[in-house]
Amino acid sequence: MNGNINNLLVGIKYCGGCQSKYNRSELFTKIKESYPNVDFQYVKENVRYNFIIVISGCHIKCAEVKNYIGINGVVNLDDNNYLQYIELIDNLLKKNI
């Protein structure tokens, strides 16, 4: 991703992990390595994030995000699309730079 992505605050939300089809923690590690200048934080209520990444272990996507603020949206990663995480995240980053 080109451009200045410094000072972006991105919220991370995991699902409960009851039916994970892949290693969600490993995916988050890859995301952090791919975007070293982004400030990733586990989501908290009443905090405004540039966007939120939901890491769901399966297609059910049970993680609830309605109480969190993602100014430019939410990207949902699950067992069907997690390998495309760079493309999905880059699409949201383009809105922020």
Q: What is this structure's pTM?
A: 0.85
pLDDT tens, N- to C-terminus, the chain (97 residues): 434 567 899 999 999 888 888 899 999 999 999 999 999 999 999 999 999 999 998 888 888 899 999 998 899 998 889 889 888 888 877 776 5
> Does residue 4 form part of some domain?
no
Could you list the residue range(s) of the whole structural domain that residue 49 is in? 9-93
Res 97: pLDDT: 56
User: Bridge-partner residues for 41, per DSSP?
Assistant: 11
> Does residue 63 form part of some domain?
yes
- Burial class from Cβ neighbours inside 10 Å (0-12, 13-18, 19+) for residue 20 reads middle
| Count of domains for the chain | 1
> Does residue 73 form part of some domain?
yes
> Does residue 3 form part of some domain?
no
> Does residue 1 form part of some domain?
no
Q: What angle do CA 78, 82, 83 make, to 5 degrees?
A: 155
> Does residue 47 form part of some domain?
yes
